[in-house]
Amino acid sequence: MDERKQAIYTPAGGPPAGARPSLEILIEIGEPGIFSLLEAFYVRLAESRIQHFFPTGESEMVAASQKSAAFFVQLLGGRPLFSQHFGPPQMRRRHFPFEIDAAARQEWLDCFAETLKDAMAAGTFPAAHEPSFSAFLESFSSWMVNVAPD
């Protein structure tokens, strides 16, 4: 799987065991709401400091966002869209091809925070559930880091 020369760093403590975000998010905004949210997130990623990790074409980015949306629908207690289409989530392993350090993770989190801010302002994400959703992102994203700190 790993084609990198350097050893892959594993964050101490193993996978985070934090709470999942509230299932009510999916009930409130539905699968289309999750897909729109992730599409907006990928638009931000395409303009971010970590854009080099991602595909360049607009339709490729939409396709990539749909893959992530499938994961979030599943995470939120909806249909197991990710597993059905792409197999076992194994998220950390799926991120091995990208050298994700603490700064890359922070940029990813900042893009998501801005996306959620816009969505709440537009009334397309329930503000009451932003804390649990962001807490999940904060915790789970630490497990995607695979480059050791300096």
- For ligand HEM, the binding residues (CB under 6 A) are 50, 53-55, 64, 67-68, 71, 86, 91, 94-95, 98, 100, 104-105, 108, 137, 140-141, 144
Specify the residue, 29 or 105, whose C-beta has the smaller distance to ligand HEM.
105
Question: Which residue's CB is nearer to ligand HEM, number 35 or number 108?
Answer: 108
Residue 122 Cβ vs ligand HEM, minimum distance, rounded to whole Å: 22
Q: Which is nearer to ligand HEM, 123 or 149 (CB)?
A: 149
Quote the least distance from Cβ 55 to ligand HEM, whole Å: 5
Q: Which two tokens stand for residue 58?
A: 């607009």
Name all contacts of 3-12 with Cβ < 8 Å and 24+ positions apart: 3/97, 4/96, 4/99, 8/96, 8/146, 9/145, 9/146, 9/147, 9/148, 10/146, 11/142, 11/143, 11/145
Structure tokens at 54: 């991602």
The answer to whether the beta carbons of residues 143 and 90 sit under 8 Å apart is: no
Supply the minimum distance, in Å, between the C-beta of residue 147 and ligand HEM: 10
By beta-carbon proximity to ligand HEM, the closer residue of 29 and 46 is 46
φ/ψ region of 64 (left if φ > 0, alpha if ψ in -120 to 50, else beta) reads: alpha
Q: Cβ of residue 24: shortest distance to ligand HEM, in angstroms?
A: 19
